[in-house]
Amino acid sequence: MLKHRKTIESLEPYRPGKPISEVKRELGLTDIVKLASNENPLGCSPKAVRAIIEWTKDIALYPDGNCTELRNALASRFSLSPSRFLFGAGTDQILEIIAQTYINSGDNTIMGWPSFSRYEAVTRIMDGTAIKVTLTGDYRLDLKAFLDAIDDKTRIIWICNPNNPTGTIITEQEQREFLKRVPDNILVVLDEAYHEYVQDANYPRSIQLLDEYDNIIILRTFSKIYGLAGLRVGYAISNENIISYLNRVRGPFNVNAAAQVAAVASLEDREFVEDSIRINQEGKQYLYRAFDDMGLEYIPTHGNFIMVNVKKDSVQVFRDLLLKGVIVRSGDIFDMDNWLRITVGTPEQNATLINALKTVL
């Protein structure tokens, strides 16, 4: 009989948001509004689409395993050496690579809770334990409690900033104070998947910290503001030493060629990024007002998603919204049973969501 690794036994597969096609088919609906996975409601840059069409003549060729063009484009944008970048099929894959590089059986990692669930999954796959530190009363990462949780088995600390699902941030000063206190044999992963959306002057400029600390990795993605989630491309920025070890684990052609050309083209389209920020800001204000009118508590967000307390079983509300063609995330997966996580959409999508929510509640 086949024997899987023991540590896999208790793992559960990731529960993705419902795909639009499935909801359409199951419910016989034609118009679906998906606000479940923090995707960009504007799609992606037309420059990215053109780059992919141009690239199709090369489909038969393996991708550039070094992501040279993308690497150089980012290196020049951030004025960093190209050797400080590592690319992955989404930051999801980089989380796996980090875990495979640094976690031995019996080690632990520290994360907030609720926070991005993959930190726990990648830890457990490596037979480690994820220590989950409850958020503060105002739904922020409790960095003091993170420090208290450190022990001699701690290998990695996951900082999700802005935090998914609460949309809260830690500030530059808080991050600096924290890093000063973390022993330098512990890796600190600064997951900044949503950083482009943040409009707060106190948000950390983490890249500046790279020269001060040898134990940090910054994660960024093309899935969110650049709207390339379907292509799977994200990157890590760190020092050459860390990157060289991650590269030993990384597969040779892990980022597909379409993703690479689209990412390069997307970087050139600043207008698309600015439009995405603007529509997100406007959408947030609209949703805040609507929730206020409805008497619903929400967590002011720095990302492109909002947690709202619907004061009812969120799984039931999720199902009721689904019947109306609106897909959101129920908070039960984050142990926030009466809350929904809603991605900020276009003005039309936001209005559809609010109308549906009013009917359902």
Ligand X SMILES: Cc1ncc(COP(=O)(O)O)c(C=O)c1O
194 vs 318, beta carbon nearer ligand X: 194
Residue among 81, 52, 46, 92 at smallest CA distance from 235: 92
Of residues 193-212, those binding ligand X (CB under 6 A): 193
**Candidates 55-63, 66-74, 88-96, 170-178; binding stretch for ligand X (CB under 6 A):** 88-96
Q: Which residues contact 39 (CB under 8 A, 6 or more apart)?
A: 223, 224, 227, 229, 343
Of residues 27-46, those binding ligand X (CB under 6 A): 38
Contact map string, positions 293 to 322, toward ligand X, x by CB under 6 A: ------------------------------
Cβ atoms within 10 A of the Cβ of 85, count?
A: 21
Grouping H, G, I as helix, E, B as strand and the rest as coil, residue 284 is: helix
**Candidates 21-29, 84-92, 177-185, 256-264; binding stretch for ligand X (CB under 6 A):** 84-92
Q: Which residue has the tokens 């980090």?
A: 98
| Cα radius of gyration (the chain) | 20
Residue 160 binds ligand X, judged by CB under 6 A: yes
222 vs 318, beta carbon nearer ligand X: 222
Output the residue with the shortest Cβ distance to ligand X: 90
Of residues 210-269, those binding ligand X (CB under 6 A): 221, 223, 229, 234
92 vs 107, beta carbon nearer ligand X: 92
Residue 164 binds ligand X, judged by CB under 6 A: yes
Q: Are 86 and 247 in contact (CB under 8 A)?
A: yes
Q: How far is the CB of 312 from ligand X (least distance, A)?
A: 25
Pairwise CA distance, residues 192 & 238, whole Å? 13
First and final C-alpha spacing in the chain: 51
Q: How far is the CB of 93 from ligand X (least distance, A)?
A: 7
Q: Which residues contact 343 (CB under 8 A, 6 or more apart)?
A: 34, 35, 36, 37, 38, 39, 41, 304, 305, 328
Of residues 165-194, those binding ligand X (CB under 6 A): 191, 193
User: Which tokens in the block code for residue 281?
Assistant: 């800001």
Using CB under 6 A, which of 41, 63, 90, 204 touches ligand X? Answer: 90
Residues that bind ligand X (CB under 6 A): 38, 90-92, 116, 160, 164, 191, 193, 221, 223, 229, 234
